[in-house]
Structure 1
């Protein structure tokens, strides 16, 4: 049973920025591309976007009209974790451990 929230170490600022920028495309089901810098404290990049897509469209997500996220830098832990269909992440740089965890 749950009594209090577990406050995450990572403030997820990049994930929130991605959501803020991409939600119009998610809501309308249209393909879009976005560009960001990433640093090693940006964890689980793409997870929140995948969650929003899965809520609306299920596991296959937006496979026919993908949201493309282009990143430059060093991604933190769990880059691309649990991606829904239609989330495409392109990284120029390197990534920490657990890249693509849960990909099928």
Structure 2
């Protein structure tokens, strides 16, 4: 078994897709996006997620944008737009929050 490091995820995915590597690990949204856009029929996910993390957005303390962004996200989730976008780009249901 040989563990190889790559400068970025694109290089790792290319090695897997061309048969020069057996597997690659990356965060779930990135992997699902790659499969949806470039890897269909060439690669697949296997096994459980390891060390899954949620993404976040940071704002300066006291930023007036926090309320606006939270309201916009709530609206997108409420009318189904968030779920549709997530399914389109990641090919799966969004995680329950």
- Tell me whether the two structures share a fold, i.e. TM-score over 0.5: no
Structure in which a larger fraction of residues adopt helix: 2
Structure 1 length as normaliser, TM-score?
A: 0.29
- When Rg is computed on C-alpha atoms for both structures, the one with the higher figure is 2
Q: TM-score, normalised by structure 2?
A: 0.30
